[in-house]
Amino acid sequence: MSAPNCLRGCLVQRPAGGAAATLLRHSTVMPATAAHFSTSTPLHGNMMKPQKPGPKSKVLLVAKQWKKGKVADRGGKSPLPGERKAFRKRILLSNNNALPVEGLTYIGPGDLLDHKNVGKVMSIPDAAVDQLRTAEVFKPTQTWSIFRKPSMLVRSETVDLLNRMHTALGKEKALRLVIAGDRITGKSMLLLQAITHAYLNDYIVIHIPEAQELSIGATEYAPVPHSDPVQFMQPNYVLKLIQAIRKANEKLLAKMTTIYSHPDLPQNIPVSSPLLALANSAKEPESAWIVFRALFQELTVKGHGRPPILFSLDGLAHIMKMSEYRTAAFEPIHSHDLALVRLFTDCLSGAVSLPNGGAVLAAMTRGNAPRVPSLDLALSRRAAEQAGRHKNQLPQRPAFAKDYDDRVEAVLQTVELLQLQGVSKPEARSLMEYWAASGVLRSLIDEATVSEKWTLAGNGIVGEMERAALLTSRF
Amino acid sequence: MMASSRQGITTALKGLCQSFRGQWQPLDRQFQALKLSSPARTTRCLSTTTNASDSSDALSIRAAPELNLDAAGADLSHISNARPVPVSASYFSRMSQFNDSYLALQKLIRSYQNLPVISAADAERVAWKSLVDYRQMIGEHVKASDFIKCMELVKRLHQIHPKLKPDGVDEALQPFKKDVQPFSNVPKPIPIDRFGRALGVGKRKSSVARAWVVEGTGEVQINGKTLADAFGRVHDRESAVWPLHATGRTDKYNVWALVEGGGTTGQAEALTLAVAKALLAHEPALKPALRRAGCVTRDPRRVERKKHGRVKARKMPAWVKR
Amino acid sequence: MVFILGVNFHEQKLVKKALETFYALGPQISARVMAKHYIHPRAKMGTLPPKTVTALTAELSSMTIESEARKIVQDNIKRLRDMGTYRGRRHAMGLPVRGQNTRTQIATAKRLNKVERAG
């Protein structure tokens, strides 16, 4: 841990004699006008202008400040509005400093269904990477940025989940499932694997990357006209979502044609025009929700060469409570009264069916999730059912508790539950071998090392293994 | 003064030194002939001290009867040169008790010098009294050189083969042993129960941990949680399973532990000790390796108490002018 | 720049904060006004459509804020003064009204308490 810091410190902080002067002069030639992490340097022309004062004056200035003990002026500008957040949220999917791994294969359309691939690390094909990036499936907290190309471990849970999706597809039904599990067990990663599989197998993917964006009152809302009881659309968010769907599923949408006439659309879309045109017709936030409804209606027509749909959402707890929005009468709005959320929960509960098969997946999140007792209760009831408990023996809500919500239980009445846990030791070994081959883990991978990290990571929790093995310099 | 002198007299009367026997016996007889008190009271004795040589000399030596000067006052009047005779000649020496016991030891040595002995290393470990302790016990200022000589005898007697050791020896050595014998305080061996579990208990700061270690595949549960849930810091997790890691047995044992009290560091390091002890029950040969890994010794440091006049244990209040 | 009730607000300013710059319009009222016009709690002035801006201006102009609200406060103080009450006198003297100590910490009272109260 200390070695790189020390090296940096030796080189920068204690230049001896003449070296100091050259360093300082050098700093005047290339002034750090931008914050050192800025990714938008070429945007500002004035940055490249040479500084007026000569090298000597700069040296003097620095020396003066040193003596007085003032905070040294680092120079440069403060980041533009939004730049810090953009840096925080940016997603780097490759790193040229990492070693390329020999024998890493790309995931094919059927590879994630094959039990032989359990415990292998496989790469995501570049086309799918673009689609996943468009749909914002990658997260900044995942460690993509330290490897050469985005690759992931195929877990037994992955193969099981995708086989269930595949079986449901054969029956022209949708798999409705909630992914739960402890902190950093890989819930979002499993969702990513399901979405990757969906893209590779020509599903239409509708992905809501952060459920909290819908419910914390950070995006525009307005009542849906003629809805009873009144629902609220979120025009800007839905417009963004339509654009993401359009971009990621462009080829598929271009192939399909509309079969309904949609008279209330802002732009006339005649029958049997491509769905892409319908998606393109969403230009203004005002019409976004209408277009989205029309698009969803077209996609869920039975037959007509419609592909299966994967409708997924990350951060389920955020849409299982009252939202931050208020009605005109200042009543709080339940998240399920937001139109997009309502569509998702209807799909999840089975009220809206996906006749061409597919899946409705909801991942829980543990990092930044509100405590929703009714959600916890509903999931524990589903877990008890799956464990074979009788209907009378399911967990009940506490007798005098008030903060329970019937709408949550209604949505989760018939969903399946996937409780994610740590990886097995062979899977852990394969993952660590991939890390070692990438040059980020410098130790011999043998039974003892794998076992040690597996134990330290709370019996194989993937994120904790990364913490214990890769990210040691952060602590 | 009166009480002490009387005790001195009776004590002296009770013991008798062999070497001076010949000279003292006539006096003894004389003394008994005086019949200063009634025969019924001869068994009573004021003395509170016991002597090792008492039993062996019981037949030849009889304690002088208690003096009853009041009752015998009239009879004493016609005896001009009668005086009480001390039982032991050491009575007139500077360290009467020490000399008595020294002589008793010498006598034992002489009697048993032909018995087989074992080496000092093989003999039972005993913590002997120090000179200071011994002086304090008998209340005499024993000289260091004398004490050393005495202890040589003691240690020689202690080396007599335990199976052949005569009865009186242990009693004779008893006064020279420390009251509390640290070597007899041996820890109970940790049993392995019928499920193959060994329970180790460890403490650190104010945390107490109990760890059940069983052969397995490297799973760890602490208070019903996984290691990752129980300790947020990776360092603490490493501490908790350090004995297994240091001996390369991470994947050979499962640990199920309960830990309470204190903070995370204390709990993690209490677990270190607990797991190490339980591991030693399974494999005692690992002790040197665990000791090198620092898993065997209890860290005795606790929070230092706060003192008055100070802000914390050591911190002084800020200096203020005036 | 967005005009509301004759005041110019920066586009990056939160609507909530902008509304609360008006006298007698606090967090409660601003939340209610925003809910009434379907403005989400973290909206910024720049994102408001012109229709909403005019509606907001109309709404605010019908409320008792700014000079009207000040007038009410001044009338109340004037009434106390005219009746010759202790509270009225304290207002006129620029001292705390409700029995606080006056040795220290009366800067707020000195600044605000007047018959023609401004703030």
Whether residue C57 lies inside any domain: the answer is yes
Q: Do A456 and B219 touch (CB under 8 A)?
A: no
Query: Is residue C54 located within the same domain as residue C74?
Result: no
Whether residue C118 lies inside any domain: the answer is no
How many whole angstroms separate alpha carbon B284 and alpha carbon A249?
65
Q: Do B235 and A459 touch (CB under 8 A)?
A: no
pLDDT at A243: 96
Query: Is residue C13 located within the same domain as residue C56?
Result: yes
A chain contacts of residue C47, beta-carbon cutoff 8 Å: 220
Residues of chain A short of pLDDT 50, as ranges, are 1-65, 474-475
What's the domain range around C72?
A: 67-112
Q: In chain B, what's the furthest Cα-to-Cα distance?
A: 100
pLDDT, one tens digit per residue, over C17-57 is 999 999 999 999 999 999 999 999 999 999 999 999 999 99
C chain contacts of residue A326, beta-carbon cutoff 8 Å: 31, 34-35
Query: Is residue C75 located within the same domain as residue C53?
Result: no
Q: Do A452 and B250 touch (CB under 8 A)?
A: yes
Q: How big is the CA angle at C70 (ends C66 and C71), to the nearest 5 degrees?
A: 120
Strands B220-222 and B225-226: antiparallel
- How do the domains of chain A map onto residue ranges? 89-420, 423-474
pLDDT, one tens digit per residue, over B11-51 is 444 443 344 444 445 455 555 544 444 444 444 444 444 44
Task: Please report, rounded to a whole number, the percentage of residues in chain A having pLDDT higher than 90.
Answer: 68
Q: Do A455 and B228 touch (CB under 8 A)?
A: no
pLDDT, one tens digit per residue, over B104-136 is 999 999 999 999 999 999 999 999 999 999 999
| A220 in contact with chain C, both atoms CB, cutoff 8 A | yes
- For chain A, the chains sharing at least 3 beta-carbon pairs closer than 8 angstroms are B, C
Instruction: Show the domains of chain B with their CATH numbers.
Output: 2-92 (no CATH), 96-184 (no CATH), 198-292 (3.30.230.10)
> Is a pLDDT exceeding 70 seen at residue B248?
yes
Of the listed ranges A27-36, B172-181, B193-202, the one predicted with least confidence: A27-36
Q: Do A325 and C40 touch (CB under 8 A)?
A: yes
Number of domains in chain C: 2
> Is a pLDDT exceeding 70 seen at residue B76?
no
Q: Do B250 and A455 touch (CB under 8 A)?
A: yes
Q: Which of C34, C37, C40 sits opposite A219 (nearest CB)?
A: C40
Measured in whole angstroms, how far is the alpha carbon of residue A338 from the centre of its chain? 21
Q: What would you report as the CA-atom Rg of chain A, rounded to the nearest whole angstrom?
A: 27
Q: Which of A451, A467, A468 sits opposite B218 (nearest CB)?
A: A451
pLDDT, one tens digit per residue, over A295-321 is 999 999 988 889 999 999 999 999 999
Evaluate whether chains B and C are touching (3 or more beta carbon pairs less than 8 Å apart): no
Query: Is residue C45 located within the same domain as residue C77?
Result: no
pLDDT at A34: 38
Evaluate whether chains C and A are touching (3 or more beta carbon pairs less than 8 Å apart): yes
Query: Is residue C35 located within the same domain as residue C73?
Result: no
C chain contacts of residue A218, beta-carbon cutoff 8 Å: 40-42
pLDDT at A41: 38
pLDDT at B47: 45
Query: Is residue C57 located within the same domain as residue C74?
Result: no
**Helix, strand counts (H, E) of chain B:** 12, 5
Query: Is residue C53 located within the same domain as residue C101?
Result: no
| A458 in contact with chain B, both atoms CB, cutoff 8 A | yes
Q: What residues of chain C, 2 to 21, have a C-beta less than 8 Å from chain A?
A: 12
> Is a pLDDT exceeding 60 seen at residue B147?
yes
Helix, strand, coil % over all residues of chain A, rounded to 5: 45, 10, 45
pTM of the model: 0.75
Whether residue C117 lies inside any domain: the answer is no
Which DSSP string corresponds to A422-468?
A: PPPHHHHHHHHHHHHHTTS--S---HHHHHHHHHHTTTT-HHHHHHH
Q: Looking at C35, C61, C87, which one is the last position of a domain?
A: C61
Q: Looking at C18, C44, C61, which one is the last position of a domain?
A: C61
Of the listed ranges A277-286, B6-15, B91-100, B253-262, the one predicted with least confidence: B6-15
Q: What would you report as the CA-atom Rg of chain B, rounded to the nearest whole angstrom?
A: 33
pLDDT at C116: 86
Query: Is residue C54 located within the same domain as residue C78?
Result: no
Mutating which of C15, C37, C40 best tests the A interface, going by the most A Cβ atoms within 10 A? C40
Q: How many contacts does A have with B, using Cβ atoms within 8 A?
A: 54
pLDDT, one tens digit per residue, over A183-213 is 999 999 999 999 999 999 999 999 999 999 9
Partners of residue B73 on adjacent β-strands: none
pLDDT at B320: 85
A chain contacts of residue B238, beta-carbon cutoff 8 Å: 456
C46 secondary structure, DSSP code: G
C chain contacts of residue A324, beta-carbon cutoff 8 Å: 40-41
Q: Is B171 exposed, middle or buried (0-12, 13-18, 19+ CB in 10 A)?
A: exposed
Query: Could you tell me if residue B234 is left (phi over 0), alpha (psi between -120 and 50 degrees) or otherwise beta?
Result: alpha
pLDDT at A22: 38
**Contact call for residues B60 and B25 (beta carbons, < 8 A):** no
**Contact call for residues B300 and B270 (beta carbons, < 8 A):** no
User: Which pLDDT band, with edges at 50, 70 and 90, does B4 fall under?
Assistant: very low
pLDDT at A244: 95
